[in-house]
Amino acid sequence: MRLFEVFFFPPGIYFIMLAFALIFWKKRKLSRNIIITTLILFYLSSITLVSDPFLKFLEYPPLAENSIGNHDAKAIVVLGAGRYPRAPEHGNKDSVSANAMQRLRYAALLAKKTSLPILVSGGNPDGSPEPEALLMKYVLEKELGVKVQYTEVFSFNTYENAVCSKQILDTFGADKVYLVTQAWHMSRAIRSFRDVGIKVIPASTGYTTSTRNGVGFKDLLPRTQGLEKINLWLHEVLGIVWYKLKYGGSKMQCPKRT
């Protein structure tokens, strides 16, 4: 999947298109059309005026602050979001990524307002010795002052987050949870949890669409933020389709990795 994204997501796909333009260089009209198409697509995918609406389509609305605690949720589930490897400011030890920190901060807020137990979910898909869930537990308890009751350390992706979390949630009858993840990731996460029978109250964080505050001249300028956002959108849409093809109708069990 990652290799596919390198070659067929921006900017990789544009290099492939330009390579075709060089291959067909002697066919001037075809080569010129490929180059023009590449430049147009590159510009459109690099401006937030285009990428923000695509990403906003995936984003779930924020949880109303005055509604927190008024749901019949039984737990708070926080999904892993990668690690910050060998962080110099933390003694060259692994810590959580910036996205994960956003999730943990919001989960801590929910826990303080609801007194619900927290479950952190995330294994070590990158092969690191310490699962993401343990890094998340450390940050919540030692830095944010919130106790973590449950850790799920076997999952390698969002669907496995759901499968493995359900196994723990079933032990104390938690069939409805606050689910904490990035707003743009929530669509895929909700589908995964609902597929395994867990009801979800979306607790989105990390909103990234700048045009929600109005459109400005900067939204017409090509920037790396545009490419990052269009890649996020493509990754999430591809993930939703891939999960449907791979896991649709399956009775997957939580993998017990070592």
Pick the CATH number of 66-207 from 3.40.50.300, 3.10.20.30, 3.40.50.620, 3.40.50.720: 3.40.50.620
Mean pLDDT of the chain: 93
User: What is the C-alpha to C-alpha distance for residues 85 and 39, in angstroms, rounded to an integer?
Assistant: 36
Q: Is 60 helix (H, G, I), strand (E, B) or coil?
A: coil
What average pLDDT does range 29-38 have in this prediction? 95
| Residue 213 banded pLDDT, cuts 50, 70, 90 | low
What average pLDDT does range 105-109 have in this prediction? 97
The pTM (predicted TM-score) of the whole model is 0.91
Check residue 210 and give its pLDDT.
64
* Amino acid, res. 174: A
62-76, 126-140, 178-192, 212-226: range with lowest mean pLDDT: 212-226
Residues 219, 52: contact at Cβ < 8 Å? yes
CA nearest to 106, candidates 180, 30, 29, 7 = 180
User: What is the C-alpha to C-alpha distance for residues 75 and 1, in angstroms, rounded to an integer?
Assistant: 32
pLDDT tops 80 at residue 215 = no
Q: Residues 6 or more apart from 217 whose CB is under 8 A from it?
A: none
pLDDT in tens, 77-103: 999 999 999 999 999 999 999 999 999
Three-state SS for 193-211 is HHHCCCEEEEEEECCCCHH
